[in-house]
Amino acid sequence: MIDCSWASRLSQYECSPVRDLHGSAALQIGTPFTTLGDSPIVLYLAEQQPDKVLISDNGDMLSHLAGCGVDLSHGNRFNKLRDLVKPFGLTLTTRGDFSALASQSEAPYHFAQAVSGLLAVSSWASATLNERPEPHDLAAEAEPFILARDPGAILIRRRSVLGASNSMHEFAFQHGSDLIDVIPPKPARTGASLRKAGDVQNGPAGLDLFPLIIVDDRAEPDKANHEIAILTSLTRAMPMTRLIENARPH
């Protein structure tokens, strides 16, 4: 039986036990993200078959977008949305909910993909209404993919460690022995990450904990690869697309 303790292997987002439409036990996972009008992006988890978990937004996203003026009956927008979420392993059903069915062992990866899929829908909706999409927290989006690499490893948010200069440095996460930051492909962020990683690697924490900088390469792969090349001269770095691929069940 799935519960919030089990769901902590998927993310450390807020979890609440609820009942589904049939009265069966389910989980509501409140993500730190919002869509148009600051409406929260929420996912629901429910056991479906032996060892299967249904991950769904229960139609919340499309219902909210319709209320914000997105006309889903216009042209082939419904089909466009189906195509948009397909790479994330999501299905847009005739009921209007985005969902994925996964085995419990593969749920961490599919949950992470579902979050990214709904963020893509939110960005599409902003573009459809000619609104500028709000930037979102890259670390929060990466969190479930980081957990999916090893769901049993310890995850600590906002982990502070002492560097060789006796300065304290905060990383977005500690996952196992990795100290992880997630950054956009911008030189200023690369420079700050290099200084932080170098100080930590030469300090007392560097004996047991190891910096890892994840650079978001999904929109600007060439820029990201350039920044990664600079980072790897001193520390470990990887593109976000590789993090996502590494989280995929094999």
pLDDT in tens, 97-148: 999 999 998 999 999 999 999 999 998 888 888 776 666 789 989 999 999 8
Pairwise CA distance, residues 250 & 240, whole Å: 18
Instruction: List own/partner pairs for 126-134 with CB under 8 A and 24 or more apart.
Output: 126/36, 128/70, 128/77, 129/36, 129/68, 129/69, 129/70, 131/36, 134/34
Say whether 208 sits in a helix, a strand or coil: coil
Residue 141's identity, in one-letter code, is E
**Tokens 């573009």 correspond to what residue?**
127
Domain spanning 138-247, CATH architecture? 3-Layer(aba) Sandwich (3.40)
pLDDT at 19: 82
C-alpha distance from residue 161 to each of 190, 213, 250 (Å): 19, 15, 33
**Tokens 């979050």 correspond to what residue?**
115
Pairwise CA distance, residues 117 & 174, whole Å: 25
In the chain, where the domains are located: 4-128, 138-247
pTM summary value: 0.84
pLDDT at 75: 64
Regions of the chain where pLDDT drops below 70: 21-23, 75, 132-135
